[in-house]
Amino acid sequence: MKVFVDPDICMGCGVCETIAPLVFELGEDGIAKVLVDIVPVELEADVRQAVEECPEEAISIK
């Protein structure tokens, strides 16, 4: 699984980082960044939860 954050949509609320801190991090600009190229299988459920809970729908998975 690959995960992407659209920086034009992200408002930097930090929900994704709270749910999956090994995958997401808020950058110095306040926008979420993805920390991994491919999400480890054991973190996929957390990433799916972050996608569901992102208030701006800025996160997508492929």
Is residue 2 within 8 A of residue 62, CB to CB? The reply is: yes
pLDDT tens-digit series, residues 3-56: 999 999 999 999 999 999 999 999 999 999 999 999 999 999 999 999 999 999
Q: Does domain 3-61 have CATH number 3.30.70.20?
A: yes
Say how far residue 41 (Cα) sits from the centre of its chain. Answer: 15
What residues contact residue 22 under an 8 Å CB cut-off, 6+ apart?
35, 36, 43
pLDDT of residue 51: 98
- Predicted TM-score of the model (pTM): 0.94
pLDDT of residue 29: 96
